[in-house]
Amino acid sequence: MSLQGYDIAYLASITEELSYNESTCEVFFKKVYDVNSMEAAKCIGITQPDSSIFPDIYRVHINDISRESLWKFMRYAHMPYLQSNIKVLQDDFFVKLGAAYKKRDEMIEGMCRDNYEKYDKLMFHQKESAIEGFYKQKFVLALEQGLGKTLASIARSFFLKKKKTLVVCPAVAKYNWVDELYEWGCAISDITVVDKEKTRVSSTELFIVINYDVLDKWLPILKSKEIDHIILDECHKVKNVKSIRNKVINEISRAKKPTITFLSGTPASNNVEDIFAYLELSEHPLGSDKSLFLKKFTQQVRLKNGDVKTIGANLEHLNICISNLFFRRRKDVLSLPGKKYHK
């Protein structure tokens, strides 16, 4: 007997707060969560098989959640259980879970290598981003400047076998993108650069490179294209949810339902209000109502000079809620080669 594809007998047999089903590659959680934990679970893809029959059972497939996000959630919502059962968990639960993630990574890596002949030339953290973002429709690649986010996002198009990728970037970066595309596997015929000199988009390209400033003028043509991947370089350019460029991206996204990769070179400097734009465009549960979002995650403080400043609030909770959307890496925690990474 099954319920929405789940074995009722198995669900009824769950007794521990944390358990792993090797046959289905799912992590199960047994607990009555408080409001914040329930919200965090929803935000990172943890769902309930049936809340009416099993109100305290939640689950997530390992393909749908990163290691980091899962660990953060377990520490956030299950810390007392972790602390009191750490030895048993280390000998069983974490062994099984670690083996499952290793097998998943090897499978994804094999597919990436098959789909992109230059996979082995990528740096470790670029490969890591490929694995963690492989099954995600929306993904924020938050790499500090110099960590190769441009290449990581180009490779993502090849990994996922995308037919047509729209790269939206600042005007000054447009031909840097073209150079990177040439260097990492594209022919001239694969790329269309939209600028004042080119008034027509070819039907044979794999990548369309356009700057934010002219995005609205090209909307009718772009909507007619079978775009299945959008890369938003310097994604803080769409942080104003009322801006024309934000509305254009939203319109293309609603029409085509593409994979969207957000690129940010300064993840540490993104304030809470900036983050909302990414959540809205990615259709994240926290991105549906800006006023409620700001009410929950910002507060006003009065400075010594009497001015009022808005700062972040409930940031630990916010960090958990967005942890499965963001992939963050910093230079100071990576061992990197010289400045010229690849030839």
Which amino acid makes up residue 138? K
> E strands within the chain?
2-3, 6-7, 18-21, 26-30, 57-61, 138-143, 165-169, 191-193, 207-211, 229-232, 259-264, 298-302, 308-312, 326-329
Specify the pTM. Answer: 0.89
The DSSP bridge partners found for residue 322 are none
Roughly how many angstroms between the first and final C-alpha of the chain, as a whole number?
57
Q: Identify the CA nearest to 165 among candidates 145, 146, 185.
A: 185
* Distance between CA atoms of residues 213 and 242, nearest Å: 15
* Distance between CA atoms of residues 88 and 82, nearest Å: 10
* Distance between CA atoms of residues 241 and 251, nearest Å: 13
User: CA distances (Å), 227 to each of 15, 117, 166, 254, in order?
Assistant: 46, 23, 7, 11
Written as tens digits, the pLDDT of the chain (343 aa) is: 445 666 788 888 999 999 999 999 999 999 999 999 999 999 999 999 888 889 999 999 999 999 999 999 999 999 999 999 999 999 999 999 999 999 999 999 999 999 999 999 999 999 999 999 999 999 999 888 888 899 999 999 999 999 999 999 999 999 999 999 999 888 888 999 987 766 566 667 899 999 999 999 999 888 888 899 999 998 888 877 788 888 889 888 887 889 999 998 765 455 788 888 889 888 999 999 999 999 999 998 888 888 888 888 999 999 999 999 999 888 765 444 444 434 3
Residues, the chain: 343
* Distance between CA atoms of residues 296 and 315, nearest Å: 10
Write out the two tokens for 184: 């990492």
